[in-house]
Amino acid sequence: AQSVTQPDIHITVSEGASLELRCNYSYGATPYLFWYVQSPGQGLQLLLKYFSGDTLVQGIKGFEAEFKRSQSSFNLRKPSVHWSDAAEYFCAVGLLTGGGNKLTFGTGTQLKVEL
Amino acid sequence: DARVTQTPRHKVTEMGQEVTMRCQPILGHNTVFWYRQTMMQGLELLAYFRNRAPLDDSGMPKDRFSAEMPDATLATLKIQPSEPRDSAVYFCASGLVAGGTEAFFGQGTRLTVV
């Protein structure tokens, strides 16, 4: 079965600093990979996704992620963090079944931004 | 602006009562997912449907939970009887049957069972 590990439960960065959130997955084939963001009291919003092609994918809000097959990783990055980026971030792996993508989520990384 | 709509947004109920949560998926989407989010367990997949047929509900406690799609515009998750350990945020998501397509999430129903 597929699984996702987000090793950092909490991360604090200063506004304007760069950010990298780690995600490692376990899956027997090339996975579909996603990053979602959740603001307090809200649902999950898709930041970006990877399923084939260029291993560096661009998303919304200035985020990007790089798929590294050799490391089974899909880390999320942003060159300069804004205070509004404070939220919880979830990495997910998709298993294509007959019913479409069945997503397995990591436990999330809570991002705090210091002004 | 297409979105997944969940009702109610908040629900407080007493232990033993029946709770029904509703979800209107995005028009045209043919897969629907129910997730539960708690501090301890994170996001857990409870059930998912394709073209209104249940494909997997192995994540759901069968004795008290049930999920249905009466029609393409409505999915329901019912808990009977509810227990305090069911307190959580329940998310509905919808998507399309195709590789690489993401799930679109509703804003969730925050359930508190006292």
- Is the minimum CB–CB distance between B50 and chain A shorter than 8 Å? yes
pLDDT reported for residue A103 = 84
Report the Cα–Cα distance between both ends of chain B, in Å, rounded. 36
Mean pLDDT value of segment B48-62: 88
pLDDT reported for residue A97 = 59
Look up residue A77 and give its amino acid: R
Q: Give the long-range contacts of residues A64-67, CB within 8 A, separation 24 or more.
A: A65/A33, A65/A35, A67/A33
pLDDT reported for residue A96 = 64
pLDDT reported for residue B103 = 87
pLDDT reported for residue A109 = 97
pLDDT in tens, A30-85: 788 999 999 988 889 999 999 888 899 999 999 999 999 999 999 999 999 999 99
Nearest chain B Cα distance for residue A91, angstroms: 11
In chain B, % of residues over pLDDT 90: 74
Residue pair B105/A107 in contact by the 8 Å Cβ criterion: no
- Is the minimum CB–CB distance between B106 and chain A shorter than 8 Å? yes
pLDDT reported for residue A101 = 65
pLDDT reported for residue B2 = 83
How many other C-beta atoms can be found within 10 angstroms of the C-beta atom of residue A23? Answer: 26
In chain A, % of residues over pLDDT 70: 93
The pLDDT mean for chain B works out to 92
pLDDT reported for residue A53 = 85
Nearest chain B Cα distance for residue A14, angstroms: 26
pLDDT in tens, B5-48: 999 999 999 999 999 999 999 999 989 999 999 988 899 999 98
Nearest chain B Cα distance for residue A72, angstroms: 18
| Res. B67: pLDDT tops 70 | yes
Per the CB < 8 Å rule, is B30 touching A46? no
Number of H helices, E strands in chain B: 0, 11
- Is the minimum CB–CB distance between B52 and chain A shorter than 8 Å? no
* Residue A81, beta-bridge partner list: none
- Please name the member of A43, A97, A107 whose beta carbon is closest to the beta carbon of B108: A43
- Is the minimum CB–CB distance between A40 and chain B shorter than 8 Å? no
- Per-residue pLDDT band for B100 (boundaries 50, 70, 90) equals low
| Res. B1: pLDDT tops 80 | no
Grouping H, G, I as helix, E, B as strand and the rest as coil, residue B45 is strand
pLDDT reported for residue A59 = 96
**What number of C-beta contacts closer than 8 Å exist between A and B?**
69
- Is the minimum CB–CB distance between B104 and chain A shorter than 8 Å? yes
Closest by Cα among B66, B45, B104 to A97: B45
